[in-house]
Chains A and B, each alone.
Chain A
Amino acid sequence: MTRYLLRRAAFLLISLLAAIVVLFVLLRLLPGDPANALLSVNATPEQIAAAQAQVGSDRPLAEQFASWFGDVLTLDLGRSFISSLPVGPEIVSRLAVTVPLTLLSFALALVVSLVVGFVAAWKSRTWYGQALSALSQLGIAVPAFWVGILLVSLFSIRLRLLPSGGFPRDDWADPADAIRSLTLPVITIAIVMSASLARYVRSATLDVLGSDFLRNARALGAPFRVAMWRHGLRNASVPVISILGIELATTFLGAVVIESVFTLPGLGSMLLRAIAQHDYPNIQGILLVSTVAVLVIGFLADLVQRLVDPRLRASISGNR
């Protein structure tokens, strides 16, 4: 297990380094100059040169990279070209929106999809099993922003129950207020996410229901509930966990659209704006943080999968 952890950690580090280089180079391939965001349509050539010197876009690429990389090693993400605010603290304040949004959506989607997926498989021959299956199919086909718009027009504009968007100015000072702002976005993401998750849960459960070991357990006298708990769930959860890791990462990154629909000051909306302005320090900082998040989530999903399934432990690292 230790050897495995070491190997995984090394892999994490290498991926991260590769990501840092790729990020930096790709950004520089974009046409245009970040200095432009600072200028008006009446700018003089001297003003343009001054702006380029200020953001450092007149320096050689290698030099720009070296100075950024050095700062990253000391956990300093630099300052925004545009606002000249430090990048790190702003990302942290945006995470106060994006992380709860992601985790709450994920938790809700998990509960819904487990119930829906399991029932759809277990009762696949009943009308409501079929209906649940069809509903989840529909959920996959529907774009998230559209669900968001529908929910807003129903719960905010017609019923006036929930805010149509925004986030409290004092963040989580009043948790109830913050939760209220997150309710519709969370439901929106959860609906779409649970639809696809439920499909996986359903097919994993169907596999288990038709498996030899479950039939054998039943044949040996275990009631269905016991057989399912002891053998079924554990087997069904293995493929689902790897999907969960991917889904969690996707939600974290995919919050861009939902944050824009609901005007949430999260990481996604920050990224969108930073890209539009060519604000390299911000873009690099955000992508670096998201890359770390995705890699760590993947690592955790892997770890949990190995804990659940002893076969994986045996086959990959050879021994315990």
Chain B
Amino acid sequence: MIRTGKTTRTKATTALIAAGAIVTLALTGCSVGQGGGKASAAHDTIEIGSIYEPQNLSASSGGGQGVTEAFNGNVYEGLFKLTDAGDVEPLLATDYTMSDDGLSYTFTLRDGVTFHSGKALTSADVKSSIERVTADDSQSARKSSLAVISGIETPDDKTVVVKLSSRSISLPYLLSYIWIVNSEATDLKTSEDGTGPYTLGEWKRGSSLSLEAWDGYWGDAPKNHEVVFNYFTDATALSNALLTNEVDIVTSVQSPDALSQFENNPDFVVSDGDSTTKELLAFNDKVAPFDKVDVRKAVYSAIDREKLLNSIWGDHGTLIGSMVPPTDPWYEDLTDVNPYDVDLAKSLLAKAGYPDGFAFTLDAPTYDPHPAVAEFLKSELAKVGITMTINPISADEWYTKVFQKHDFTATLQEHVNDRDVVWYGDPDFYWGYDNPQVTKWVAEAEQASSTEEQTAKLKLVNEQIAKDAASAWLYLYPQIVVASSDLTGYPVNGLNSQFYAYDITTK
């Protein structure tokens, strides 16, 4: 009895030890055998690293920045295209005419365009795609800009006529954001049916999204056969993946600390492109003390923006003196309108009736870079006698409290879009800037009959909001793309987070 028991136990022990050994061997053995295999793989598949995973695949139902990055121009195309340089060019529309009163645009569609599902592109698809964005249940960020569209007509398969309730000089530009989707497609949150050079391969949630070159594309075939967006939540992990060649290119580096590893390394190229993302200290212009222009100007002048930008981004990024980034046509250098000048800030405060400063609470989003910016502002403002309390707030809470309820005194926020200075013409927007003259200029600019006129009007807006310090525009984010040095053909500006992948290839 004892003997049998003993033997069984010994066998069991041996088995356990063997099992342990196998696990250990499996873990270490396999790895050594295949070490570094991926680095030598051909670059026919371009591995892209990004931190913006789409929330879903629909731009009009909250897909977010990620779906724009992966799909815009790659899977879906618009009537027009915004190039990496910021120009608007015809894409699915070959030509358009505007009526003399500017209230009717006639677009001619390109021949030979089919959707990935095989159906030919017709004017009905364009009509339904635009209406998808302007629909009642649309969550598109572009919806309000397109409110001027009063009707869409389709006289024949190749012609679309868009009727407007008032002139809209930016219509072609705005249409560059509207994806032309097959009107018969369903379930656009999890699948696609566009006309672009790539079709959706596989979207593995939390990990990657692959795009495969499509041989039915009307234009030039992509220079690669497949691109894969690999998604990261951790900036260090993303840098490591690039260092170890697991990804070939990173669309937008958000952590300056990581850059030093690539900057003096011949295996990588760091590109400093143009960004449209602005870091704002947004005042609530409707509540005290920020309803006074002098108080806002005082706060703006009390902040050493150059030092702030340097502490966040090192040598990258640009200082701006208003909402307009250099890539917008109506840009002017206004950084001197509210210079960094502590004495000026103090005298402005005295003039406004706050010689000893005041106290206020800043709602600061909890994600980077806002906490660091908030701390910096706090110490800068203390120097002119202003006591700032930081209230950390989640992105979601920000939305409810600040954006919807306007229940705030001041806040930090990044505004990513280009050409968004026009929001200062909307007195109901969250920052509550209400200057009837500016509102009028913005409306006139949109109804302008030439781009020169539009540009002139928006320059006036730009100058006025700077004079009024409607907000404190702290700096313009850098747009940094880091790529393996044997890669070519990638976009570097990432305007509005788009990332055209079709020209990327190895040298």
Contact with B along A246-270 (1 / 0, CB 8 A): 0000000000000011110110011
The stretch among A61-69, A121-129, A179-187, A201-209 that forms the contact with chain B is: A179-187
Asked whether A156 and B207 contact (CB < 8 A) given A32-B394, A37-B62, A39-B399, the answer is no
In whole angstroms, what is the CA distance A50 to B137 when docked?
Answer: 5
A293 interfacial by beta-carbon distance below 8 Å: no
A59 interfacial by beta-carbon distance below 8 Å: no
In whole angstroms, what is the CA distance A84 to B188 when docked?
Answer: 10
In whole angstroms, what is the CA distance A34 to B139 when docked?
Answer: 14
In whole angstroms, what is the CA distance A266 to B204 when docked?
Answer: 11
B100 interfacial by beta-carbon distance below 8 Å: no
Are B246 and A166 in contact (CB-based, < 8 A)?
Answer: yes
Which chain A residue has the least Cβ–Cβ distance from B236? A149
In whole angstroms, what is the CA distance A232 to B368 when docked?
Answer: 55
In whole angstroms, what is the CA distance A129 to B53 when docked?
Answer: 49
Residues of chain A within 8 A (CB-CB) of B415 are 41
B41 interfacial by beta-carbon distance below 8 Å: no
Are B233 and A83 in contact (CB-based, < 8 A)?
Answer: no
Q: Which chain B residues in 143-191 approach chain A with CB under 8 Å?
A: 143-145, 189-190
Residues of chain B within 8 A (CB-CB) of A104 are 23, 27
Which chain A residue has the least Cβ–Cβ distance from B208? A169
B36 interfacial by beta-carbon distance below 8 Å: yes
Q: Bin the interface of chain B by size.
A: 35 or more
Which chain A residue has the least Cβ–Cβ distance from B238? A263
Are A157 and B56 in contact (CB-based, < 8 A)?
Answer: no
Question: Which of B30, B36, B55 lies in contact with A179, CB distance below 8 A?
Answer: B30
Closest Cβ of chain A to B257, distance in Å, is 13
Contact with B along A140-161 (1 / 0, CB 8 A): 0000000001001100110111
Are B136 and A46 in contact (CB-based, < 8 A)?
Answer: yes
B38 interfacial by beta-carbon distance below 8 Å: yes
B202 interfacial by beta-carbon distance below 8 Å: yes
In whole angstroms, what is the CA distance A224 to B35 when docked?
Answer: 45
A231 interfacial by beta-carbon distance below 8 Å: no
Are B399 and A161 in contact (CB-based, < 8 A)?
Answer: no
B361 interfacial by beta-carbon distance below 8 Å: no
Residues of chain A within 8 A (CB-CB) of B99 are none
Contact with B along A172-197 (1 / 0, CB 8 A): 00001101100100110000000000
In whole angstroms, what is the CA distance A47 to B399 when docked?
Answer: 13
Closest Cβ of chain A to B295, distance in Å, is 25
Which chain B residue has the least Cβ–Cβ distance from A54? B137
Q: Which chain B residues in 406-457 approach chain A with CB under 8 Å?
A: 413, 415, 417, 423
Residues of chain A within 8 A (CB-CB) of B9 are 229
Asked whether A33 and B396 contact (CB < 8 A) given A51-B139, A165-B240, the answer is yes
Asked whether A169 and B210 contact (CB < 8 A) given A37-B55, A107-B23, A108-B27, the answer is yes
Are A180 and B34 in contact (CB-based, < 8 A)?
Answer: yes
B42 interfacial by beta-carbon distance below 8 Å: no
- Where the two chains meet, the residues of A that have a C-beta atom closer than 8 Å to any C-beta of B are 31-34, 36-48, 50-51, 54, 82-85, 90, 93-94, 104, 107-108, 110-111, 149, 152-153, 156-157, 159-167, 169, 176-177, 179-180, 183, 186-187, 226, 229-230, 260-263, 265-266, 269-270, 272-273, 276-278
12 cross-chain CB contacts under 8 A: A39-B139, A41-B415, A42-B423, A50-B138, A51-B139, A83-B189, A84-B61, A108-B24, A111-B23, A164-B246, A265-B205, A273-B53
- 19 A-B pairs besides A36-B395, A261-B237 with CB distance below 8 A are A32-B396, A38-B61, A50-B138, A90-B205, A93-B204, A107-B19, A111-B23, A152-B240, A160-B36, A160-B39, A161-B36, A162-B35, A163-B244, A164-B240, A165-B237, A165-B241, A169-B208, A179-B31, A263-B233
Among all A-B residue pairs, the 10 with the closest Cβ atoms:
A38-B62, A40-B141, A32-B396, A111-B20, A265-B207, A265-B206, A164-B240, A36-B399, A161-B35, A160-B36
- Where the two chains meet, the residues of B that have a C-beta atom closer than 8 Å to any C-beta of A are 6, 9, 19-20, 23-24, 26-28, 30-32, 34-36, 38-39, 53, 55-56, 61-62, 136-145, 189-190, 202, 204-208, 210, 228, 230-234, 236-237, 240-241, 243-244, 246, 394-397, 399-401, 403-404, 413, 415, 417, 423
